[in-house]
Amino acid sequence: MNKQMTAADVVAQLEDGMTIGIGGWGPRRKPMALVREILRSDIKDLTIVSYGGADVGMLCAAGKVKKVVFAFVSLDFIPLEPYFRKARQSGSIEVMEIDEGMMLLGLRAAAWGVPYIPTEVGLGTDIVTKNPDIKVVDSPYDDKEWVAMPALKLDVSLIHADRADDRGVCQIAGPDHYMDDWFARAADKTFVSCDEMVDSQYFHDPAQARLVHWERSQTTGVVEIAGGAHPTSCSPAYGFDVPHFKAYTGSAKEETGFQGYLDTFLGANEEEYQQNVGGLDAIRAIELPTY
C-alpha cells in the first residue's frame, strides 16, 4: 500500500471543527510544514491537542482555533508563546488546561478504547475545578477519590518524523519521540511529514527499526518535506531556529502582527517558505541546542 501524498492532500482531508493532535514538544520536532499548509487553507474551528509551541500560537493567531487542550504552550528558550498568550488573554479561545502527564493518559485512553484512565494527578488543583468535563470518581477498590482523565479522541494527528517508507513505517531518530506514538494511536487518521523518504529495506537494519515507535497501520499518509519541522528542531538533523523564533515573537509586538509575519515568510507553498527563511541548506545547518 503506497501512502505517499502531498501536504495539500493532507489538508484536503481536514474539516472545520475537527480535533487535531500535533506531535512534538514546544520548539522540538513539530510538523510545521503541515501547520503552514493549514494556515494557507480556510479550515477553521479546530480543537488542538498539543504539547504546544508555535504550532498552537500560529493556529490561534490565524483564527483557526476554537479550543486548545494544553499543559503548556512554550518555545523553551522563550518561555511564553506570544500569540497563544494573546488568544488566552483576549478570551478568544476555549481551553482545557491539564497536566502534561494527564495528556498522555488521555491519549492512551483514546488509543485503548476506554473512556478514562484513573489518576491522582490533578486532585487538589484547579485542573479539576476549571474543567467541568473532567470528573472525579470513587474507586471500587479503595476509599479514595481519583481523577477520571477522559480519552482525548483525535480525528487527525499530525507528526513530523525523520524518515518514512511509502507504507508508513516512520522513524524518529532523535533522542526522544515525545508522545508521538500515542498521538498516532489516539487518532482516526495520522499524517506524517518526514525529512526523508527511504526504501523499506532501510529498516532491515535492526538499529534503524529500533527507532520506529508505532505500527504502520497507525499511519494514514506520509509526506516527504525535507526541513519540514522548521523553525522547530529535528534532532539530530537540525536544531531550532533561534533568530527566526525571535522574529516571530517580535512580530507580536509590531503593528503588522501575525499578518506581517505571514506576509514575510509563509509564501504560497513550502518551497517559497524555505526560500524566505534562507533555503533548505540553511535549515540543515542550524546547530543543535544545548540544554
Sign of CA dihedral 74, 78, 81, 85: positive
Candidate residues 79, 113, 132, 206; the one interacting with another protein per rule CB under 8 A: 79
Beta strands 187-197; 145-150: pairing state: unpaired
Count of residues that bind another protein according to CB under 8 A: 47
Q: Is 242 in the site for another protein (CB under 8 A)?
A: no
Question: Which of 204/291 has CB closer to another protein?
Answer: 291
CA-CA distance, 267 to 273, in Å (whole number)? 5
Is the link from the previous residue into 231 a cis peptide, with omega within 30 of 0?
Answer: yes
Place of cell 517508507: 165
Q: Is 286 in the site for another protein (CB under 8 A)?
A: no
Closest to 287 (Cα-Cα) out of 243, 228, 224: 243
Candidate residues 16, 17, 63, 144; the one interacting with another protein per rule CB under 8 A: 144
Q: Is 104 in the site for another protein (CB under 8 A)?
A: yes
Q: Is 84 in the site for another protein (CB under 8 A)?
A: yes
Kindly state the smallest distance separating residue 96's Cβ from another protein, in Å: 11
Region of 15-23, 84-92, 109-117, 183-191 interacting with another protein (CB under 8 A): 84-92
Q: Is 73 in the site for another protein (CB under 8 A)?
A: yes
Q: What residues numbered 174-203 form the site for another protein, per CB under 8 A?
A: 174-179, 182
- Burial of 23 (C-beta count, 10 Å sphere; 0-12/13-18/19+): buried
Binding site for another protein (CB under 8 A): 25, 70-74, 79-80, 84-85, 88-91, 97-102, 104, 119-127, 129-130, 136, 138, 142-145, 174-179, 182, 290-291
